[in-house]
Amino acid sequence: MIDIRLIRSNPELVKENIRKKFQDEKLPLVDEVIALDKQLRECKTKADTLRGQRNSLSKEIGNLMMQKKIEEAETIKTQVAEIAQQLEDLKELELDLPEQIRQRMMVIPNIIDETVPLGKDDSENVEVERYGEMIVPDYEVPYHIDIMESFQGIDLDSARKTSGSGFYYLTGDIARLHSAILTYARDFMIDKGFTYCIPPFMIRSGVVTGVMSFAEMENMMYKIEGEDLYLIGTSEHSMIGKFIDSITPEEDLPIAYTSYSPCFRKEVGAHGIEERGVYRVHQFEKQEMIVVCHPDDSKAWFEKFYQYTVEFFRSLLIPVRTLECCSGDLADLKVKSVDVEAWSPRQQKFFEVGSCSNLGDAQARRLAIRARNENGTYFPHTLNNTVVAPPRMLIAFLENNLTEDGKIRIPESLQMYMGGKEFIEK
């Protein structure tokens, strides 16, 4: 949610930002906010004037009563009653208008960074850099489910019976590998100076609407029937919610957490809950990183964030690239975003394994997250980034570490988490 003062002072800038995101249907919202805001301010001014008149008349009534001018006092009492009714009507407007403004403000997209490339959708995202050698071995790399099944490491048939498509059982060394990667990711981020946290896996609707747009919420979140609770789609949701209605001394910034959680997603419109694959699933686990920082520091944190993910994947011998998200691919709260994509030797192309986002002060405004210095309070910036999210990451790991004789190579960085194993054998 952007600052309403920006809409008042520079509505054309806000409209141009909407055009850059190819959301022209939202252009009328800017004029509606301006009109409603003007009406609200006029309403408050009129209410203040009426309250002043009422106070003056009340004093006059007292004086008339003391002079026993009862009839004149009663006449003025009628005027006071009329003012009271007007104030009551204005009170309803003073309650209703801010909510109307807020509803529109929540839909107007955040101002994107000037460096974001313009484009309508993810097909126009821009490659930034590649890391590692994109090797295509001279032996066949099977489909990831076939690799897992060759180690008796996955059971999709049973999961379909218990839960439906988009779920899975991991077993044996594949399950151990899954957990080892998450544990390594936790320690990797702790070594970078982040505080480890396990957050609540359910959050209230007020937090949900504070951390994401309505469209994302509808397409992602599972609601707990009969309760004001949603299953989180990523631990960023509850980690940012941790700071709701808080004021942090500026000297305590930045606050950097790395959080673990299971994640639950409806994946509406995903075309794609594959019957056999685990690329898009309804349930997975993830190691996340978030930071709450001074606005001047958010660009530097953004660069560090996605580089941490690149470093993590390279330590597991997985080639990756970074991809700048274009304006039309940015969610409404985001100022700037970079996806990290891993190399698939089987498909000979990259696929997304993580996303790094700078949300500016949008989440802070929605959730009343503030910082304080000697000049008063202000809204800090919030950022989030995926460290690793199995089982999708397992696809990249297995394909890039499969040997010609069908073993799975365990990189040195991961061996201590796999009981010292250098290979997983059938």
Catalogue all structural domains in the chain, each as residue range(s) with its CATH number. Answer: 4-105 (1.10.287.40), 122-424 (3.30.930.10)
Q: Which two tokens stand for residue 422?
A: 């250098």
pLDDT averaged over 10-residue windows placed end to end, the chain, 426 residues:
92 97 97 94 87 82 78 80 84 88 94 96 96 94 96 95 94 97 98 98 94 79 94 95 97 98 80 66 96 98 97 97 97 96 96 96 96 97 96 95 96 97 95
Which pTM was predicted? 0.89
The whole-number pLDDT of residue 273 equals 46
The whole-number pLDDT of residue 54 equals 83
The whole-number pLDDT of residue 63 equals 78
Tell me: cis bond preceding 28? Omega within 30 of 0 counts: no
Q: Which two tokens stand for residue 22?
A: 């190819």
The whole-number pLDDT of residue 49 equals 86
The whole-number pLDDT of residue 276 equals 62
Q: In what order do the strands lie in the sheet with 369-373?
A: 246-249, 369-373, 376-378
Kindly calculate the radius of gyration of the chain based on its CA atoms and give it in whole angstroms: 28
Cβ burial of 317 (10 Å; 0-12, 13-18, 19+) is middle
**How far apart, in whole angstroms, are the C-alpha atoms of residue 116 and residue 326?**
6
